[in-house]
Structure 1
Amino acid sequence: MRSIRRRRRISMTSLVDVIFLLLLFFMLTSTFTRFAEVELTSGGGGTATAETRPLFLQVAPDRLSLNGAPVALEELAEALAADDATAPRPLLVALRGEVTAQRLTDLLVVLRGVPGVQATVLGAS
């Protein structure tokens, strides 16, 4: 006589548990925020106007200087707003040393809040 072997049914309970845990994991580790954008203009060939004299900002890892005078990042907006220019003023930003991307982003966020300033990043030297 031949014994009849019954096939065991596959339990789907553990598969559903694993899928639920993966779904929960990916939902909790995802970010649903919208990141801010910072407008960046790079230096290049262009036409310069003699009417407006550009401001010059040197950015180092530990200090800032506006037209040769040291200034703190928190006071930069006030220093630029104190300049009584009605027309948009170009601002040349020169990076010195190993300036981090976070420091440059913090600077550009501050500059975005100053009306009439058009910042151009020259690059690292």
Structure 2
Amino acid sequence: MFAFDTPRKPRRPSLTPMIDVVFLLLVFFMLAARFGADAGLTLSIGAGSGNEWQGPPRLVSVTVDGLLLNGVAQTPETLIAALDDLTDSRADPVVLRAEGGADVQALVDALALLSTAGFTGLLVAE
């Protein structure tokens, strides 16, 4: 039997590429993970209680240009003040409607505004 070369010791595989991949996966999952609870709006789904409407109309229209209360343009601050004048308590129903090409985000922003102000009787209409 011929020996053309001296036998070498087998090379051990390098772990550096595997460590790099694990590090990149760790960074990816840390950046992609969500920490904390998601914020949300509580909406009740279903028909009303069957009672008749009490008090003046409270229709908040969300448009591309802004907010309207019963057809009158309002800023967020004046909307809350005007709704306080129209309601006996913050649990009274307030109807919200998106119109004039307003997007869903504008409607959600209006819901969040009124919810943060303490209004709990929010109704969404088509």
- Would the TM-score normalized by the shorter structure come out above 0.5? yes
* Mean CA deviation greater in 101-110 or 79-88: 79-88
Residue 22 of structure 1 corresponds to 25
SS at match of 2:25: helix
Residue 55 of structure 1 corresponds to 58
Supply the distance in 1 between the matched residues of 2:48 and 2:37 (Cα, whole angstroms).
34
How far the C-alpha of 1:44 sits from its partner, in A, is 4.5
Residue 86 of structure 2 corresponds to 83
Q: Which residue among 112, 115, 121 is the counterpart of 2:115?
A: 112
Of all paired residues, the percent bearing the same amino acid is 33
- Residue 100, structure 1, aligned to residue 106, structure 2: no
Q: Greater strand share, 1 or 2?
A: 1
How far the C-alpha of 1:54 sits from its partner, in A, is 4.2
After superposition, the C-alpha distances for 1:45-95 in whole angstroms (9 at most, x for unaligned) are 762424444411211111221122221223211211233514732111121
Residue 69 of structure 1 corresponds to 72
Within a 5 Å distance, the mapping from 1:26-37 to structure 2 comes to 26-37=29-40
Contact kept? 1:57, 1:93, Cα under 8 Å: yes
- Structure showing greater relative contact order (alpha-carbon pairs closer than 8 Å, 6 or more residues apart): 1
Contact kept? 2:61, 2:69, Cα under 8 Å: yes
Note the residue ranges of structure 1 that are not aligned, 5 or more in a row.
none
Contact kept? 2:56, 2:86, Cα under 8 Å: no
Supply the distance in 2 between the matched residues of 1:102 and 1:87 (Cα, whole angstroms).
23
Contact kept? 2:63, 2:98, Cα under 8 Å: yes
Structure number with greater Rg is 2
Q: Tell me how large the CA RMSD over aligned residues is.
A: 2.7
Contact kept? 2:84, 2:90, Cα under 8 Å: no
* Mean CA deviation greater in 102-111 or 41-50: 41-50
1:92 corresponds to which letter in structure 2?
Answer: V
Note the residue ranges of structure 2 that are not aligned, 5 or more in a row.
none
